[in-house]
Amino acid sequence: MSTGSRLPKLIAFDLDYTLWDFWIDFHIIPPILQDPATGTVYDSSTSDIYYGRRSSPNTIEFYRDVPGILRNLRNEGVTVAACSRTPVPKLAMEALRLMRIPDSKDTDILACNGSNDTPSWTTTTTPAVNFFDQLEIYPTDKTVHFKALHKKTGLPYSEMLFFDDERRNRNVEKLGVTFILVPEGRGMDSELFEKGLKEWRRRHPELMSSGGSEN
């Protein structure tokens, strides 16, 4: 993340094919389970709708760069939101409650050293849901999600940056939200995140100079 540069006060992310690489209503079979030894989260399916039988359930995890992005945003005090139109909000919420984010980028290295004093994942990770300040997860137009965010946080739309993999959700820009399309098959990564920050700053030079915002 760029250091010493102005950040939006609220950054929002879609879930499916933005933070994780599946449609949770289509690919994930409940109930969602968690390995007590490793903290790995997985579904109850051993079949794949495209490729037939699988030897193991579907693992539920974020794209590689997502944990670091969320961790940095929390450290910077940015309001983080999830905005998803999934028809299975309870399942999505359960996934976020069970998924864990390492407390530092070194946690995975510690977990692999094989020693008996390796810290448990329960003490070196935090539930992913704790990294989100606002959760707008229900089937509706994304403009409804952002109107709700505006009402709950009191933040102007000009202070909002949104990453999503569906072009139709660009309609949030009519509210004043900066929309960044997540390319198909890519998912959220650090390079795309920095591109989004750069675009938001380009659109709002008045916020860069004043450090404030207007409704």
Question: Which member of 14, 43, 164, 165 is catalytic?
Answer: 14
| Residue 156 to residues 14, 37, 151, 153, 198, Cα–Cα distance (Å) | 19, 44, 9, 9, 19
Identify any residues that bridge with 12 across adjacent strands, giving them in sequence order.
Answer: 81, 162
189 annotated active-site:
no
d(CA 163, CA 47): 30
Would you say 160 and 79 are in contact if contact means Cβ atoms under 8 Å apart?
no
Question: Which member of 16, 43, 164, 165 is catalytic?
Answer: 16
35 annotated active-site:
no
Residue type, 32: I
For residue 148 the two structure tokens come to 């709700």
Identify any residues that bridge with 125 across adjacent strands, giving them in sequence order.
Answer: 102
What are the catalytic residues?
A: 14, 16
